[in-house]
Amino acid sequence: MKYNCDAWADRRKRKKAERRAYLGSWHPKFAWFPIKLKHGDCRWLETVDCKRTVSSTWSGDSISWNYRAR
């Protein structure tokens, strides 16, 4: 089969960038497991907002998730 691999690679890069931007903004997530929002406030079996935070360190990237109530 012959296809244009450059177009495929560009589309894949664009989708990855869109996914990264989506994860970096607040988006809804259903809490299948208990999620701690703050001290003394956990949510379970309901929808919460979450956002991914990436911080670069000398040993590599550190990914953490922030949650808030809807």
pLDDT digits (tens, 9 = 90+) for 4-49: 677 778 888 888 888 888 888 899 999 999 999 888 889 999 999 9
Whether residue 48 contacts residue 69, with contact meaning beta carbons closer than 8 Å, is answered with yes
Residue-level pLDDT at 16? 85
Single-letter residue type at 64: S
Provide the 8-state DSSP code for 44.
-
The model carries a pTM of 0.67
Higher pLDDT, 60 or 65: 65
**In the structure, what pLDDT confidence band is assigned to residue 51 with cuts at 50, 70 and 90?**
very high
pLDDT for the residue numbered 9? 80
Output the pLDDT for position 39: 87
